[in-house]
Amino acid sequence: MNSTIDKKLAELGVSEAAGLAPLFAEVRARFDADAAVATDEFAWKAFRDAWLGRKNGVLARITDNWLKPAAPELKRAVGAALNELRAHVEARIEGRRLAIESGAGSATAARDAVDLSLPGVTRPIGSRHLLRQVFQEIEDIFVSIGFSVVEGPEIETPYYNFEALNIPEHHPVRDDMDTFYLELPNGAATPLLLRTHTSPVQIRTMEKHEPPVRVIVPGKVYRRDNPDATHSFAFHQIEGLAVDTDITFCDFTGTIDYFVKQFFGASVKTRFRPSYFPFTEPSVEFDVSCPFCGGSGTAASGGTCSKCKGAGWIELFGAGMVDPAVYGFVNYDATKVSGFAFGIGIDRLAMLKYGIDDIQVFFQNDVRFLRQFP
Ligand code: PHE
């Protein structure tokens, strides 16, 4: 910058007053451009010294090189232009100082400062996953009739997952309940597995509590399964268990019927068919009359109802009266107590109720799916 001025000065020769105006305008434009760069205290000081420094500042050099040697007839004009430039430079430099001090007008300060006029950051509010919502809905229904909610471990021993549920080592139902085994160091006392159902929590609950027991157990369960539209190696169940001294089959079916009507609507009917589970006797499979075609098997459009495939009934879940053999594992007196248990598949129920045709969408967490269930 100074060399430019020196050159200009040499060119000028300060011989003509008419040459002064464009020359000072150029110096001033340069000053204005420099001023914009002085955005913090450090840059401001260097800027101030460059322009106002007593020895080598631009204004000092203009005084020495332009004003002092100016011809007598030009001195006045050079002096006036210099004073005008000085006033501008001093005012602007002071202005920058104030701006930097107050934090305004400087790019650095603006970056760090809070600008209250900016729009806020919108954080989208999420919602509970549909499966969680269905869990909650079912829990509410059972809690309202005196059940409490308990949970148990997803990593289980074969004892809780199988043996204590009356499923001895080579029992054929173990084939349907193959699962994932945890790799343990050689010589570990018991193998560990991912539970195949929430039923082990029946055992854990009865071990800890004397009858009466009325619990539901929401949770995640695992099986060795190949994923497709209706299978997943991880899925969800709610176990139910009620044991007391005088629980009858009627209490059992009445409770289930109440739950199903609460969940699907008062107009549905329930029925049960004989089934088999090693830990219930008798065992049943509960069906609900198809909530979508009113049990007629015919869709509103006239064709076959796609939900129940024309059957008018939809299979819901397995259940039964607790097998007395199970009481033997938890030191309950099988001659004094009785009860019932059920295991509801949550994914299936949610798919049914909300018309979802692929279980995998529960696990993909595609927001376009999730947003449909706010
Ligand atoms: N645990 C069984 C299953 O996962 C379901 C069930 C639970 C059946 C309780 C009867 C009683 O298939």
pLDDT in tens, 80-109: 889 999 999 989 888 888 888 887 544 555
Pairing type for strands 234-244 and 148-149 reads: unpaired
CA of 343 to the centre of ligand 1 (A): 4
Helix axis angle for 346-354 and 249-264, nearest 10°, is 40
Instruction: Return d(Cα 320, Cα 307) in angstroms, integer.
Output: 26
Per-residue pLDDT reduced to its tens digit, 226-278: 888 889 999 999 999 999 999 999 999 999 999 999 999 999 999 999 999 99
> Which long-range CB contacts under 8 A does 305-310 form with residues at least 24 apart?
307/352
Global confidence as pTM: 0.68
DSSP E strands in 60-169: the ranges are 148-149, 155-156
Query: Please, what is the average pLDDT of the chain?
Result: 89
Q: How far apart are CA 222 and CA 178, in angstroms?
A: 9
Q: With bands split at pLDDT 50, 70 and 90, how would you rate the model's confidence at 184?
A: confident
- Ordered by start, the domain boundaries in the chain are 4-112, 130-370
Candidates 199, 217, 342: which one to mutate for ligand 1, based on the most atoms within 8 Å of Cβ? Answer: 199
Is the Cβ–Cβ distance between 217 and 151 less than 8 Å?
yes
Query: 151 or 125: which carries more pLDDT confidence?
Result: 151
Give the pairing type, strands 213-222 and 148-149: parallel
| CATH topology classification for 130-370 | BirA Bifunctional Protein; domain 2 (3.30.930)
Atom 4 in ligand 1: which residue has the minimum CA distance? Answer: 197
- Residue 321 Cβ inside 6 Å of ligand 1? The answer reads no
Does 343 sit in the ligand 1 pocket, CB within 6 Å? yes
Q: What is the arithmetic mean of pLDDT over 328-350? A: 96
Q: How far is the CA of 44 from the centre of ligand 1 (A)?
A: 78
**Ligand 1 mutation target, pool 194, 279, 281, 286, most atoms within 8 A of CB:** 279
Q: Cα torsion for 240, 241, 247, 253, to the nearest 10°?
A: 20
Which pair of tokens denotes residue 65? Answer: 């090189």
| 170 phi/psi in degrees, rounded to 5 | -105, 25
Ligand 1 centroid, distance to 287 Cα (angstroms): 15
* Per-residue pLDDT tens digits for 30-60: 888 888 888 888 888 888 888 888 888 889 8
- Regarding the beta carbon of 280 and ligand 1, being less than 6 Å apart is answered yes
